[in-house]
């Protein structure tokens, strides 16, 4: 590393420290400005505190075998309870699309699912957290296409 590189590194390091000390920044507002357009909204403190518990699914299938309300559930919207911890709850921008699924899983006994789950997934808290987050999302807004459509079948980068 050259002397010039070290001096540049030191300059930007101390500049950053000074800016951080003098300029107040609202992390949540910056997060929303950066990620709101992608529908990534901040989690509630309760949801955030439970993230580790929500994500420990082992894919054993015991909850799917324990769920007793398949006959009353719309199978088009619901394959089984394990879909929630394994997959659906991992895509924050799509939480508001989970209303039909949540309506079906609520037909079952969530406490019974918790009792058989070897990973201790708290189904009642998970369903409530997903529902709460979904209700805080702006409705009817979807991501704009990330790339412009090519005019003539070929992608035009610029
Ligand atoms: S019982 Fe628990 S660990 Fe097994 S699939 Fe269901 S949520 Fe996952």
Give the relative orientation of helices 45-54 and 123-135 as an angle to the nearest 10 degrees.
140
What tens digit of pLDDT does each residue of 63-106 get? 999 999 999 999 999 999 999 999 999 999 999 999 999 999 99
Domain shared by 48 and 31, yes or no: no
Domain shared by 53 and 131, yes or no: yes
Whose C-alpha lies nearest to ligand 1, atom 2? Answer: 117
Q: Within a 13 Å sphere around the CA of 82, how many CA atoms are in the beta-carbon half?
A: 15
Res 141: pLDDT: 53
Domain shared by 15 and 86, yes or no: no
> How many angstroms from the chain centroid is the CA of residue 29?
18
Residue with the bigger pLDDT between 157 and 68: it is 68
- Please name the residue ranges forming H helices in the chain: 3-22, 27-35, 45-54, 62-66, 83-86, 99-105, 110-116, 123-135
Whether 150 maps to a domain, the answer reads: no
Domain shared by 6 and 63, yes or no: no
Q: Is the pLDDT of residue 112 over 90?
A: yes
Q: Is any ligand 1 atom within 6 A of the Cβ of residue 61?
A: yes
Structural domain range at position 16:
1-38
Residue with the bigger pLDDT between 142 and 73: it is 73
Region of poorest pLDDT, from 106-110, 122-126, 139-143: 139-143
Q: Is any ligand 1 atom within 6 A of the Cβ of residue 126?
A: no
Backbone angles phi, psi at 80, to 5 degrees: 175, 165
Tell me the pLDDT of the chain averaged across its residues: 87
Q: Is any ligand 1 atom within 6 A of the Cβ of residue 62?
A: yes
Domain shared by 27 and 51, yes or no: no
Residue with the bigger pLDDT between 91 and 152: it is 91
- CA distances for 104 relative to 69, 70, 94, 146, angstroms: 9, 9, 17, 33
How far apart, in whole angstroms, are the C-alpha atoms of residue 20 and residue 24?
A: 7
pTM over 0.85: no
Q: Is any ligand 1 atom within 6 A of the Cβ of residue 56?
A: no
Residue with the bigger pLDDT between 64 and 142: it is 64
- Considering its fold, how many domains does the chain have in total? 2
Q: Is the pLDDT of residue 153 over 90?
A: no
pLDDT band at residue 155, thresholds of 50, 70 and 90?
very low
Query: Ligand 1, from 117, 118, 127, 130: best to mutate by most atoms within 8 Å of Cβ?
Result: 117
Domain shared by 102 and 28, yes or no: no
Residue with the bigger pLDDT between 44 and 115: it is 115
CATH number, domain containing residue 112: 1.10.1060.10
In the reported structure, the alpha carbon of residue 33 is separated from the centroid of ligand 1 by a whole-number distance in angstroms of 36
């Amino acid at each position: 590393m050259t002397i010039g590189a070290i001096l540049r590194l030191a300059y930007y390091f101390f500049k950053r420290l000074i800016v951080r000390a003098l300029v107040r920044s609202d992390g949540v507002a910056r997060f929303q400005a950066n990620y709101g357009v992608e529908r990534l909204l901040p989690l509630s403190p309760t949801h955030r505190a439970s993230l580790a518990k929500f994500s420990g699914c082992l894919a054993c299938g015991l909850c799917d075998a324990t769920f007793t309300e398949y006959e009353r559930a719309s199978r088009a919207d619901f394959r089984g309870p394990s879909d929630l911890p394994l997959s659906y709850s991992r895509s924050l921008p799509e939480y508001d699309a989970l209303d039909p699924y949540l309506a079906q899983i609520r037909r079952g006994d969530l406490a019974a699912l918790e009792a058989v789950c070897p990973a201790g997934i708290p189904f009642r808290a998970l369903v409530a957290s997903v529902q709460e987050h979904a209700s805080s999302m702006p409705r009817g807004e979807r991501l704009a296409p990330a790339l412009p459509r090519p005019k003539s079948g070929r992608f035009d980068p610029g």
